[in-house]
Structures are given as C-alpha cells and as structure tokens.
Amino acid sequence: MNDKQKSISENSKNEQLGMFRKNDNQNQALTTNQGLKIAEDEVSLKAGERGPTLMEDFHFREKVTHFDHERIPERVVHARGSGAHGVFEVYESMRSYTKAKFLQDPNMKTPVFVRFSTVIGFRGSKDTARDVRGFATKFYTEEGNYDLVANNMAPFFIQDAIKFPDFIHANKPEPNNEIPQATASHDTFWDWITQNQESAHMVMWAMSDRAIPRSFRMMEGFGVNTFRFINEEGKAHFVKFHWKPLLGVHSLLQAEAAKIGGEDPDFNRRDLWDNIEMGNYPEFELGVQLLEEKDEFSFDFDILDPTKLWPEEDVPVRIIGKMTLNRNVDNFFAETEQVAFHPGNVVPGIDFSNDPLLQGRLFSYLDTQLIRLGGPNFHEIPINRPVCPFHNNQRDGYGRQTINVGNVAYHRNAMANNSPYPVGENEGGYVHHQEKVEGNKIRARSASFNDHFSQATLFWNSMSAPERQHIINAFAFEVGRVKDKCIKQRVTDMFANVDLDLAKAIAIKVGATPPASGGSTVTKASPALSQENTVKTARTRTVAVIIAEGFDYDQVNGVIKALQAEGAQAAIISDKIGMITSSDASQMEAVKSFITDSSVVFDAVYIDGGKKADPYFAMEACKFLKEAFIHFKPIAGTNEGKQWIEDEKIGNSLGVFLGSVGDNEFISQFIKGIAFHRFWDRILV
C-alpha cells in the first residue's frame, strides 16, 4: 500500500460516494436500465387498443419489477432512523491507551456517518414515542471501518443476548392484533419485565425524560457494552464510550411528545435535517471511561454487566475528540436505509470484553445484514464501503459489484505468489488481545450479575424532583394501560425494591395495592445522570414570535435580532400565513399559523400582538401561550401581548418576561430564560 493509498482526508468518503452519485437526468432521454431509449412510458404494449397487455413489453416488465422490489425488509429493531454525514477529530493522541490510528493525530479528520433511530416502532411510526434511541456511528478510517453502535441510555434491559428475541417479542405490538405500535404500554411488555427483573435499571431510564429527547442534537450516546483499548505494547484498558452533545441533554414532556407525534411524526427527523441545512451543525464530544485490567473487580458491581453503568464520579469520562455532522444524505434509501452497522467492525487497538450481551451482538448484527441487504456483499454498497482498499478471496454472491480478475481465489497459493497475504501485527494486522480463559462448559450466569436493583435506585436518587415526577407519570401512563391487574401489581411490587415511595406512587396511579414493605439501602447518587446538570444554551432553540396586524415593528425586529445574535431561531406566527403589516406600514412574513403549528414544537414564545388584533386572534394567542406556560417554557410579551399575558394572570410567574417600548433588559432576561429551558418551580394557575 503506497502513501497515497494510506492517506485519508475529510473529503475522501464524500469523493467515494460521488463516484456512485447519479443526478444526470436533466434534459436526458428516457432509457431502460440497459440504456435503451424509450419512445413511450405511459401506455403498455397491447394486442389492439382494447386488447390484453403483451408479455413482450419488456419496458413495462422492467419498470414494474423494479417497483415491486423497491422495499427491503425493515430492521426488526431500529427500523425508523435518520442519518447524516460528518467528521471526527481527536483532541490529543491516545497512543498510550490505543494504537487505533484515527485516535492519534489531532490534524486528521475522519469521515463518519451517523444513524439515529427509535428501537421498537416500525418504519412509519412517530419520532416522539417513549423509547430507547439508537446512536450508531461509522468511522471510515484508513485501517478499515470502525462502528460504534450506541444507544442514548447507558444500561440495557438484559444481561445475556440469548434473551434479546424474547425481550423484543414482548415489546413489539402483540402478535394477535399487532397493537399497540411503538410503545411499551401493554400487557406483554410489563409481564416480561416483571419476570425478568434484571431490567429494573433500564426501565427507570426508559420511564425517565431520556426516553423522549427534544432533538437528536440534544441526546447523549452510550456505547453500553464494555470494550478494550489496546496500545502498541499490548497493554489493555477496559473502556466505555460516551457521546456528549455540546447543546446539552434536553427532553420533551410526555404531553408534548404525544401531541407532536400527531401533528408532526417526523419532528426529530425534520429537526436534524433542517438544522444541518441551516448550518447549525450538531456537535458531540467523544468521551471514554478507562479502567486498568487490575481494577476489573474493584467495584460493587460487575463492570461487564450490561445492565450497569460506571458512575462518572467513580470512573471519570475523559473527553478525547469531537464529531460534527455537517451534511445531509443525498438519498435516504441508498444511505440511511442501507447503512449496515456491526460492533464487530473494529480496527487495531479496539477489542472486545467478555460482556455476554456484546458477545451475542457480534453474531446478530452480521446475521441481520445478510437478510436485509440480500447477501454477503453489503460491504460493497457505497455507504458501507471503507475508504481504504480491501483485498481477500471472497467471491460471488448476491449484489457483487467487484469484478475480480485471475483464476486464484484461495489462500495459500503459489500461482499468485500467495496473494493476498496476511500481515503481522507490526504491519497493521489485527491481532486479538490475549486473555487467559478457562472453566467448565456450562450454561450459567455469574453471581456477580445478580444485583438488579442497586443501580436502579442510584438512578432514582440522582433525579431532581421534577424528573422524579416525570418518571412517576410515565409509569402511570405505561402501566396504567395494562389490562391485567396481576401484572400491574407485579410491577408495583417489583419497583418497591428500587424505592418504596416510588412504588406507592405507581400503585396509587394504576389501581394496584401499595406495598407495605420494600425500599433500598442504597443512598448513593450520580449527579451526572440528571439532565438538570447539563449544558444550557439558547443556541439553536426555536422561538415562536406571535404578531397580528398593527404590531410594533421596531420592537419585534429588535427581539428577533437579539435572538439571532445568540443563535436562537425565530419563527413568525399569526392567524394566517403571509405578510403581516405593522403599525408603521412595515411588513414581516408569517411562515406559520395557529392552525399549522402549536406551542409544543417550540422552546419558547414571544408575543407582541398587534393593534388590529381581533378577539379571535387574542383567543388563539392566549391558547398558544397558556399551553407553553403549563409546559414550563419561557414566555415573553410586549404591547398587546403583554396585556394578554396579564389578563391570563400569569405575568408574575417564573420564566415570564414582560417588556415595554425601549426596554432592552427584558430581552436579555428572556434569552437567559430560553437557555434555562424549563421553569419547573413555576406555579401553574
């Protein structure tokens, strides 16, 4: 491999994809897929004007056959996804921990492709379902593709991959009627949970705000499983991976998520696409938790148990690099739908642990791609192709694109000088980390995996009061929709092992008998788990600006400019879409209306009103701001808007900012309120 082949640049994957990109239909003659020009594309070949269609019509058969085969099997899990291209840059060399080359040079930009996804819903389900989110990243490195297949939650539901089909079957729509879609609020899921109590910790995460992210851009990522870093000397460290969003970790309320799911089921997908198009590139820092092998048994939990996390206070997260998503896909199917991830796609310097969930994933992901993408050559699909050359003796199969020449297709040959040939570790050959393994052949689980509730309690202890209430509300909704009363009681009794007050609250909400005993002796908390302690910024936040005919142009324009200066996005809303005339005959264009949008899709509301606003406008505007108010969002008002806010008796509430003409201080306070995100201590009226 020469120096040119070894080099890699930010544009290398883009250039490679460009070889396959086809957008040359403009002003071109219509042809078949074989290149034959076609004279007619709207009428099939028939025996007479009213006669039967003839099998001879090869163009009709090609067109319809292709159409009939346009859909491939959707992913069993993570079916609904959104993807984007970007780059990754390491901050400093990680040579002392890993020999992975893409983690060595801060001047190198490694191309990446990321796919965010929900887990349970079908491809057509809504973005805002209460669910785990996938966060899968493909690094196109000079040593081959590396896939970091993560979730937005640190633990997982199960400890051994053999249980994964059962868990998914219980969570998917029930098989007799395929109801309900994209939700855990049904009998089979909670029946399974109560029979598999290792899931307690993950259920706490799934019932928390983490399960309904405000945006993919504001979502944390966790590698879940324990991996290894290996350096040049062969020294190993256990490692867990983290993605930290620079915008902080923020969520929707359950009521907002439900309403958005009906109004805009593509809410998160649209948010990702629009912000990349506007240049608000999502940024995530890559962090690692590192443990020396000698410390493997130094904790009160098993570090290989995938239902556990490593508390950041015990094992700090070291930030080592940043990923920026800077380009949307050109074709959803060819890229987002056909991208194939596999945790077994590693590079030298990254290896596996004995985590039993990870061991199963190493089989399952590869097996999945074989049926979804038609055979063993899915690596040749452009979005999956590595940027470095690849050479082996694999041949043929569905979808083969490489035209191999020569008559040698086997290893150990003399006819081709034993090419391609293996290379040693010093030449970049992948060598598995040597680990002494011994024991009886047995189907058993380590006793160190038996504690199912301590970290569930740790998570509960780490939540703020509003977050705890949201968890209770989530249990009330999800378990409240269960029909079997025995299951409701088992859920209540199970979570008494996490916290007795939590269990009693669940019981009251779902009609079960409150447990008389239970609770946990765990008092430890991890502040890093609470979203109250995340980054808070007004950057990229969306603000509804409500105006009517006769609005104050200078006032509104001043607010909009101040918002834009802080990176916030203003959307003008009125009772109609189109130009709205101010009191001084200036105009602004309303791009949204009360009919097309509601407060749930915005982070804040600013209302100026207008001298010519009629009673209908005032009623709709007040409805808009009251909904934002009960969702604890920042609200600002001037002129008629200020009066309407005072009429609703919410003017003195936390997070409500009222301004007068020439008063710029309230704008500054409003922007700080937008960054604050929610005012949980607000008294609802």
* Token pair in block for residue 656: 């409500």
Contact in structure between 540 and 568 (CB atoms under 8 Å)? yes
DSSP output for 449-503: G---SHHHHHHHHHS-HHHHHHHHHHHHHHHHT---HHHHHHHHHHHTTT-HHHH
Axis crossing angle, helix 500-510 with helix 485-495, rounded to the nearest 10: 160
Provide the 3-class DSSP secondary structure of residue 201.
helix
Residue 326 host element (H or E): strand 318-328
Q: How far is CA 180 from the centre of its chain?
A: 22
Q: Which residue has the tokens 């200078």?
A: 554
Query: Rounded CA gap, 14 and 244, in Å?
Result: 25
Q: Residue 382's CB: how many other CB atoms inside 10 A?
A: 18
Concatenated DSSP letters of 554-608: HHHHHHHHHHHHTT-EEEEEESSSEEEEBTTS-EEEE-EETTT--GGG-SEEEEE
Cα 223 to Cα 303, 313, 477, 512, distances in angstroms: 13, 18, 29, 36
Contact (Cβ atoms closer than 8 angstroms) between residue 542 and residue 567: no
**Is-contact 519 496, C-beta < 8 A?**
yes
- Give yes or no for a contact between 252 and 216, defined as CB atoms under 8 angstroms apart: no
The pair of three-digit structure tokens given for residue 377, joined into one six-digit string? 């050559």
Are the C-beta atoms of residues 81 and 47 closer than 8 Å to each other? Answer: no
Q: Sign of the C-alpha dihedral, residues 499, 503, 505, 506?
A: positive
CA dihedral of 85, 156, 145, 350, whole degrees rounded to 10: 130
Helix axes 665-676, 553-565, angle to 10 degrees: 50
DSSP state of 120: S
Active site positions, annotated: 78, 151
